[in-house]
Structure 1
Amino acid sequence: MFDKIFSFFSCQPIQSIDRIILGIGNPGKKYAGTRHNLGFAVVDSLAKDWNISFNQEKFKSLIAFYQFENKNVLLVKPLTYVNLSGEAAKKMLDYFHLDNQSLLIVVDDISLPVGKNRLRLKGSSGGHNGLKSIIKHLDSECFTRLKMGIGKNKDQDLISYVLSRFSEEEVPIVNNAIMSAKEMCQHWLCQE
């Protein structure tokens, strides 16, 4: 198995992955910057801070490897689109023989106001199709999720709303929320 991991990462050999941070979102420029892609925005920003890039494609995902506080971390952007995010999550956990506690999902949440983040160790999908898919594939609601508020718009249907971009007034609030989310991710990585 170690040979597979070595060839999979074109860098120094590693013996394992300790933690996975998976941002939920939709691939492609069409969806960049939308409310539904807040998970992608967080892992993209972490990758930028860590000076790494999503230059590998594996497990139906774009991935990037980093060593943080002596932990081997995989940043993940599934290519499955939001509704099938569980396929990627399950493949990675199985491949690296990890339990659900090694996984952090970063996801948008309409029940929280824009800019509000909430870390949960378990829970229902809250109606989010990406979380529904992960719960289904892992056969469990017990995994950590970092929910990021995108607010709710009663004047717009749900699909149009989550695929819309943040307003000019919301952008600085969202940028602060991304900064806070990165700190929360790093704090989670430091936990045993």
Structure 2
Amino acid sequence: MAEETYLIVGLGNPGAKYESTRHNVGFRIVEAIARSEGGSLDLYKWDSHFCQMSLWGARIFFVEPQTFMNLSGKSISRFVEYFKISADHILVVHDDIDMHPGRVKLVSGGGPGGHNGIRSLIQCLGTRDFFRLKYGVGRPGRDGVHPDMPVERFVLASFNHDEEMLLAERMTSLADGVREFVTTGSQQAMNVLNVIK
């Protein structure tokens, strides 16, 4: 029987100036998971860095769109169409300003919640029925962040030391959850990921 195909997408902005920003945490998580399994996103196709791996009993594409956040769906839709990937096999990892720093949540469906990358994906894929792995980065006015800082400046600023440590602590659990998503399904993955507060 042929391996099932999964798409694990990290959202972010291309270029060195954005690498360590809160908005690029999706890139960082996907890169770290691929790297932990011996992969490297050094191939380029359809305006994305990606790697293809035979992993966890499936064919998995780890993908980072290089179109800038607002056009993420343009690139991802090409992978979905060409490889005929069903929506329930798509997992998109991204930052969420409405969850406190370090909180993790796996959800299916729903609206973009103000996230332009998710909005682009919904528009280009023509469906909301893909999975999102949200990583909390907090919001100005909460969690000790100055309330006068504009949201745009906040998400495009780098993690502070404590946030970096928190992300490092979460990485093994994040990888475990993504593996469960592929091997045993979304419900078991939620059991692993949604307890991370």
Could you tell me the TM-score, scaled by structure 2's length?
0.86
Q: How far apart are residue 129 of structure 1 and its match?
A: 0.3
Bigger mean CA offset, 172-181 vs 98-107 = 172-181
Among 73, 79, 91, the alignment partner of 2:60 is: 73
Quick one: percent identity of the two aligned structures?
31
> Which residue pairs with 1:85 in the alignment?
72
1:5-16 equivalences under 5 Å are none
1:34-183 equivalences under 5 Å are 34-153=21-140, 154-183=147-176
CA contact (8 A) 1:103 1:143 kept: yes
Q: How far apart are residue 164 of structure 1 and its match?
A: 0.5
Q: How far apart are residue 65 of structure 1 and its match?
A: 1.3
> In 1, distance between residues paired with 2:67 and 2:136?
22
Q: Secondary structure at the match of 1:54?
A: coil
> In 1, distance between residues paired with 2:115 and 2:161?
25
> In 2, distance between residues paired with 1:179 and 1:143?
23
1:186 pairs with 2:179: yes
CA contact (8 A) 1:108 1:147 kept: yes
Could you tell me the TM-score, scaled by structure 1's length?
0.88
> In 2, distance between residues paired with 1:139 and 1:47?
27
> Partner amino acid for 2:60?
V
CA contact (8 A) 2:106 2:134 kept: yes
CA contact (8 A) 1:116 1:177 kept: no
Runs of 4+ in 1 over 4 A off after TM superposition: none
CA contact (8 A) 1:41 1:178 kept: no
Q: Secondary structure at the match of 1:156?
A: coil
> Which residue pairs with 2:14 in the alignment?
27
Q: Secondary structure at the match of 1:18?
A: strand
Q: Secondary structure at the match of 1:65?
A: strand
Q: Secondary structure at the match of 2:95?
A: strand
Q: How far apart are residue 47 of structure 1 and its match?
A: 1.9
Q: How far apart are residue 53 of structure 1 and its match?
A: 1.3
CA contact (8 A) 2:10 2:92 kept: yes
> In 1, distance between residues paired with 2:100 and 2:173?
15
> Partner amino acid for 1:171?
E
> Partner amino acid for 2:176?
E
> Partner amino acid for 2:11?
I
Q: Deviations over 1:50-100 (max 9, x none)?
A: 112112101210011111122010000111111111111111100001221
Give the unaligned 5+ runs of structure 1. Answer: 1-14
